[in-house]
């Protein structure tokens, strides 16, 4: 066990020495990897925030059930009982025609017009909140409620939710494809970088072989180098993403104020940062392993 720890300690020392010998070259490689990871990461952040905002907005996308003009209080009680027992309904609120006309009177521009009406033309209504946030399920609930007795109209503007959901699906698919392409690019970057290091240290490798070094011993410093480069690139990407989020959050209040709302772009969570860094480190390790294995196989195919 002690020998194994010493071998890894030596490999880390060799990797650190190589970084100190050419710090700017290694920093440039880490930056290149970080920028490559940043592109799909920003797309992921965009989709994540749009999904969150869409979910928040869907909380306000409620079904309005307007009762028939001749509906009585007993009819309203029947509809209320159905809504209370329905498994797809999270909650509901009854709005009487008297309450609705009072709300209209509060709008100063039409208060005089409302007072001039011979009678209250507004129906009793229920504002219904569905448990599901899926546009299809909400619309299915609306269609079902529209068939209930004394329900004259069931209204829901769900087209925007369906468009948002479809757009998010496309963005997620695009992000997955872009991440796969850039993962291949990261492998290629690490493969070429470590490959050059292997060529530059070819004489040292041959001497190590002569004194009995195994392939695992020869690979180890390069694997650490690839892993650290990948992890460093992942951290750089997360840092750049945090800067982008901070910049957007500075710019967005003036736009959000025009729509009377508050929007805050959420940064990467700690699990996301760990996942990005770990995945980048894994790709760096794999690229280094392929580069060293290719050299070892070519120099000693037997």
Look at residue 196 in the predicted model and tell me its pLDDT: 77
Record the tokens describing residue 257, joined without a space.
């104020």
Predicted pLDDT at 243: 92
Pull the structure tokens for residue 167.
Answer: 């757009």
Cα angle 221, 223, 227 (rounded to 5 degrees) comes to: 120
Instruction: Give the DSSP letter of residue 14.
Output: H
* C-alpha span between 220 and 11 (Å, rounded): 6
* Residue showing tokens 């905002």: 53
Query: CA-CA distance, 275 to 284, in Å (whole number)?
Result: 14
CB-CB contact of 189 with 102 (8 Å): no
pLDDT number for residue 81: 92
| pLDDT tens readout for residues 148-168 | 998 998 887 555 566 666 777
- Judge if pTM exceeds 0.75: no
Rounded Cα gap, residues 67 and 69, in angstroms: 6
DSSP character string of 217-282: HHHHHHHHHHHHHHHHHHHHHHHHHHHHHHHHHHHHHHHHHHTT---------HHHHHHHHHHHHH
Q: Is 125 exposed, middle or buried (0-12, 13-18, 19+ CB in 10 A)?
A: buried
Instruction: Write down all domains in the chain, each with its CATH number in brackets.
Output: 2-57+162-299 (no CATH), 62-156 (3.30.70.3040)
Residues of the chain with pLDDT under 50: 56-60, 108
Q: What is the DSSP string of 142-196?
A: HHHHHTSTTEEEEE---HHHHHHHHHHHHHHHHHHHHHHHHHHHHHHHHHHHHHH
Instruction: Give me the pLDDT at residue 63, please.
Output: 85
Displacement of CA 220 from its chain's centroid (Å): 35
Tell me what pLDDT residue 108 has.
46
């Amino acid at each position: 066990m002690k020998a194994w720890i010493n071998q890894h300690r030596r490999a880390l020392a060799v990797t650190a020495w190589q970084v100190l010998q050419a710090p700017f070259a290694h920093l440039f490689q880490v930056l290149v990897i970080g920028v490559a990871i940043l592109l799909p990461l920003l797309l992921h952040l965009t989709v994540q925030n749009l999904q969150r905002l869409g979910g928040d907005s869907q909380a306000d996308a409620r079904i309005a059930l307007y009762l028939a003009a001749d509906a009585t209080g007993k009819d309203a009680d029947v509809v209320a009982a159905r809504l209370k027992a329905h498994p797809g309904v999270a909650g509901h609120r009854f709005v009487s025609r008297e309450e609705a006309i009072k709300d209209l009177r509060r709008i100063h521009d039409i208060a005089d017009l409302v007072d001039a009406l011979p009678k209250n033309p507004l129906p009793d209504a229920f504002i219904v909140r569905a448990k599901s946030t899926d546009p299809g399920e909400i619309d299915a609930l609306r269609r079902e409620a529209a068939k209930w007795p004394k329900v004259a109209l069931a209204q829901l503007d769900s087209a925007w939710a369906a468009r948002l959901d479809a757009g998010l699906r496309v963005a997620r698919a695009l992000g997955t494809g872009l991440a796969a392409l850039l993962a291949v690019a990261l492998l290629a970057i690490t493969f070429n970088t470590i490959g050059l290091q292997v060529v530059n240290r070819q004489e040292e490798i041959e001497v190590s072989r002569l004194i009995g070094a195994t392939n695992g011993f020869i690979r180890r410093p390069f694997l650490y180098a690839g892993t650290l480069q990948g992890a460093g690139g992942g951290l750089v990407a997360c840092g750049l993403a945090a800067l982008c989020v901070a910049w957007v959050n500075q710019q967005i209040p003036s736009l959000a104020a025009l729509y009377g709302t508050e929007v805050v772009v959420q940064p990467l969570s700690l699990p996301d940062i760990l996942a990005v860094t770990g995945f980048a480190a894994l790709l760096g390790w794999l690229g280094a392993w392929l580069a060293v294995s290719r050299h070892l196989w070519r120099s000693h195919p037997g």
